[in-house]
Protein backbone atom coordinates (compact mmCIF):
# COMPACT_ATOMS: atom_id res chain seq x y z
CA UNK A 1 0.00 0.00 0.00
CA UNK A 2 1.37 3.41 -0.98
CA UNK A 3 2.18 5.74 1.89
CA UNK A 4 0.33 8.61 0.18
CA UNK A 5 -2.80 6.44 0.10
CA UNK A 6 -2.52 5.90 3.85
CA UNK A 7 -2.06 9.64 4.44
CA UNK A 8 -5.12 10.40 2.32
CA UNK A 9 -7.21 7.84 4.23
CA UNK A 10 -6.11 9.34 7.54
CA UNK A 11 -6.98 12.84 6.39
CA UNK A 12 -10.36 11.75 5.03
CA UNK A 13 -11.29 9.93 8.23
CA UNK A 14 -9.52 11.90 10.95
CA UNK A 15 -12.86 12.78 12.59
CA UNK A 16 -13.22 9.07 13.42
CA UNK A 17 -9.91 9.23 15.23
CA UNK A 18 -11.01 12.31 17.18
CA UNK A 19 -14.30 10.64 18.15
CA UNK A 20 -12.48 7.49 19.23
CA UNK A 21 -10.11 9.48 21.42
CA UNK A 22 -13.05 11.42 22.86
CA UNK A 23 -14.83 8.17 23.72
CA UNK A 24 -11.71 6.85 25.50
CA UNK A 25 -11.32 10.08 27.49
CA UNK A 26 -14.94 9.77 28.65
CA UNK A 27 -14.04 6.57 30.52
CA UNK A 28 -12.64 7.17 34.02
CA UNK A 29 -9.43 5.15 34.26
CA UNK A 30 -7.72 6.90 37.19
CA UNK A 31 -4.83 5.23 38.94
CA UNK A 32 -4.81 5.52 42.74
CA UNK A 33 -1.59 3.51 43.18
CA UNK A 34 -3.20 0.93 45.49
CA UNK A 35 -5.97 0.32 42.94
CA UNK A 36 -7.13 1.59 39.58
CA UNK A 37 -10.15 2.05 37.34
CA UNK A 38 -8.81 0.43 34.17
CA UNK A 39 -11.43 -2.34 33.88
CA UNK A 40 -14.09 -0.39 31.96
CA UNK A 41 -11.69 1.07 29.41
CA UNK A 42 -10.13 -2.35 28.86
CA UNK A 43 -13.57 -3.87 28.26
CA UNK A 44 -14.23 -1.12 25.69
CA UNK A 45 -10.87 -1.65 23.93
CA UNK A 46 -11.27 -5.44 23.98
CA UNK A 47 -14.69 -5.14 22.29
CA UNK A 48 -13.32 -2.76 19.65
CA UNK A 49 -10.54 -5.22 18.86
CA UNK A 50 -12.96 -8.14 18.57
CA UNK A 51 -15.25 -6.03 16.36
CA UNK A 52 -12.28 -5.43 14.04
CA UNK A 53 -11.74 -9.17 13.75
CA UNK A 54 -8.60 -9.24 15.87
CA UNK A 55 -7.79 -11.95 18.35
CA UNK A 56 -8.01 -10.24 21.72
CA UNK A 57 -7.45 -11.15 25.36
CA UNK A 58 -8.25 -9.14 28.47
CA UNK A 59 -6.41 -10.23 31.60
CA UNK A 60 -5.02 -9.14 34.92
CA UNK A 61 -1.23 -9.30 35.15
CA UNK A 62 -1.77 -11.39 38.30
CA UNK A 63 -3.29 -14.16 36.16
CA UNK A 64 0.08 -14.79 34.53
CA UNK A 65 2.16 -17.58 36.01
CA UNK A 66 5.18 -16.30 37.92
CA UNK A 67 4.21 -12.63 37.62
CA UNK A 68 4.40 -11.96 41.37
CA UNK A 69 7.88 -13.54 41.42
CA UNK A 70 9.33 -11.09 38.89
CA UNK A 71 11.98 -8.80 40.45
CA UNK A 72 10.15 -5.68 39.21
CA UNK A 73 6.79 -6.68 40.71
CA UNK A 74 5.61 -4.20 43.35
CA UNK A 75 2.94 -5.58 45.72
CA UNK A 76 0.10 -3.37 46.90
CA UNK A 77 -1.18 -2.09 43.55
CA UNK A 78 -4.44 -4.09 43.56
CA UNK A 79 -3.67 -5.74 40.24
CA UNK A 80 -6.26 -8.48 40.70
CA UNK A 81 -8.92 -6.08 39.36
CA UNK A 82 -6.74 -4.18 36.88
CA UNK A 83 -6.45 -5.31 33.31
CA UNK A 84 -4.44 -5.34 30.12
CA UNK A 85 -5.71 -5.99 26.61
CA UNK A 86 -3.48 -7.65 24.04
CA UNK A 87 -4.83 -8.03 20.51
CA UNK A 88 -3.24 -9.75 17.56
CA UNK A 89 -3.65 -8.97 13.87
CA UNK A 90 -2.31 -12.12 12.26
CA UNK A 91 0.10 -11.60 9.44
CA UNK A 92 0.78 -13.72 6.39
CA UNK A 93 3.32 -15.52 8.58
CA UNK A 94 2.30 -16.30 12.14
CA UNK A 95 5.34 -14.65 13.68
CA UNK A 96 5.17 -11.75 16.10
CA UNK A 97 7.00 -8.82 14.57
CA UNK A 98 5.82 -5.59 16.15
CA UNK A 99 3.96 -4.56 19.30
CA UNK A 100 2.38 -1.15 19.73
CA UNK A 101 1.73 -0.22 23.35
CA UNK A 102 0.02 2.53 25.29
CA UNK A 103 -1.24 2.70 28.86
CA UNK A 104 -4.87 3.01 29.90
CA UNK A 105 -4.49 4.60 33.33
CA UNK A 106 -4.44 8.30 34.08
CA UNK A 107 -3.29 10.31 37.04
CA UNK A 108 -6.03 11.42 39.41
CA UNK A 109 -8.36 14.24 38.42
CA UNK A 110 -7.55 16.60 41.26
CA UNK A 111 -9.86 19.52 42.02
CA UNK A 112 -12.69 19.72 39.43
CA UNK A 113 -12.76 23.51 39.92
CA UNK A 114 -9.40 23.68 38.13
CA UNK A 115 -10.81 22.14 34.95
CA UNK A 116 -12.27 24.14 32.04
CA UNK A 117 -14.20 21.00 31.08
CA UNK A 118 -14.87 17.96 33.25
CA UNK A 119 -11.96 15.48 33.35
CA UNK A 120 -14.07 12.90 31.51
CA UNK A 121 -15.81 15.29 29.13
CA UNK A 122 -13.95 14.30 25.97
CA UNK A 123 -15.01 17.73 24.74
CA UNK A 124 -13.82 18.59 21.22
CA UNK A 125 -13.50 22.36 20.91
CA UNK A 126 -11.29 24.63 18.82
CA UNK A 127 -9.28 21.72 17.43
CA UNK A 128 -8.53 20.26 20.88
CA UNK A 129 -9.82 17.31 22.85
CA UNK A 130 -10.20 18.02 26.54
CA UNK A 131 -10.06 15.57 29.42
CA UNK A 132 -7.69 13.49 31.49
CA UNK A 133 -5.67 11.15 29.32
CA UNK A 134 -6.25 13.00 26.03
CA UNK A 135 -2.49 13.30 25.57
CA UNK A 136 -1.14 10.76 28.05
CA UNK A 137 -1.84 8.13 26.86
CA UNK A 138 -5.30 7.52 25.48
CA UNK A 139 -4.14 9.23 22.29
CA UNK A 140 -1.67 6.39 21.80
CA UNK A 141 -4.45 3.84 22.20
CA UNK A 142 -6.73 5.73 19.82
CA UNK A 143 -4.04 6.02 17.13
CA UNK A 144 -3.11 2.34 17.17
CA UNK A 145 -6.76 1.23 17.06
CA UNK A 146 -7.69 3.76 14.37
CA UNK A 147 -4.78 2.90 12.10
CA UNK A 148 -5.37 -0.82 12.48
CA UNK A 149 -9.02 -0.39 11.54
CA UNK A 150 -8.15 1.89 8.63
CA UNK A 151 -5.52 -0.47 7.23
CA UNK A 152 -7.69 -3.57 7.67
CA UNK A 153 -10.59 -1.90 5.87
CA UNK A 154 -8.26 -0.82 3.05
CA UNK A 155 -7.25 -4.46 2.53
CA UNK A 156 -3.74 -4.24 3.93
CA UNK A 157 -2.31 -7.50 5.29
CA UNK A 158 0.84 -7.40 7.43
CA UNK A 159 3.65 -9.81 6.58
CA UNK A 160 3.98 -10.78 10.27
CA UNK A 161 1.74 -10.41 13.31
CA UNK A 162 1.02 -6.99 14.74
CA UNK A 163 0.28 -6.91 18.46
CA UNK A 164 -1.64 -4.07 20.10
CA UNK A 165 -1.35 -3.71 23.86
CA UNK A 166 -3.26 -1.42 26.20
CA UNK A 167 -1.83 -1.86 29.68
CA UNK A 168 -2.52 -0.84 33.27
CA UNK A 169 -0.62 0.77 36.12
CA UNK A 170 1.83 3.03 34.33
CA UNK A 171 1.28 6.25 36.27
CA UNK A 172 2.43 5.06 39.71
CA UNK A 173 5.25 2.60 39.22
CA UNK A 174 5.00 1.97 35.54
CA UNK A 175 6.18 -1.59 35.43
CA UNK A 176 3.17 -3.79 35.97
CA UNK A 177 1.26 -3.48 32.73
CA UNK A 178 4.27 -3.34 30.45
CA UNK A 179 6.14 -5.98 32.40
CA UNK A 180 3.92 -8.80 31.16
CA UNK A 181 4.96 -8.07 27.61
CA UNK A 182 8.69 -8.58 28.03
So which residues are the catalytic ones?
A: 105, 170
Contacts 24+ apart (CB under 8 A), 147-155: 147/10, 148/52, 148/54, 148/89, 149/52, 150/6, 150/9, 150/10, 150/13, 151/1, 151/6, 152/52, 152/53, 152/89, 154/1, 154/5, 154/6, 154/9, 155/1
Query: From the centroid of its chain, how far is CA 25?
Result: 11
Are 78 and 36 within 8 A, CB to CB? yes
Are 78 and 35 within 8 A, CB to CB? yes
Are 91 and 161 within 8 A, CB to CB? yes
Amino acid sequence: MELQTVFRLIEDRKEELFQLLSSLVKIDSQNFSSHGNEKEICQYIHKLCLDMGLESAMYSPMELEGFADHPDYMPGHGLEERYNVTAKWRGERDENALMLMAHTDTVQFGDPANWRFAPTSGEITDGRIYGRGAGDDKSGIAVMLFLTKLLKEAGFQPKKNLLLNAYCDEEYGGSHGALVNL
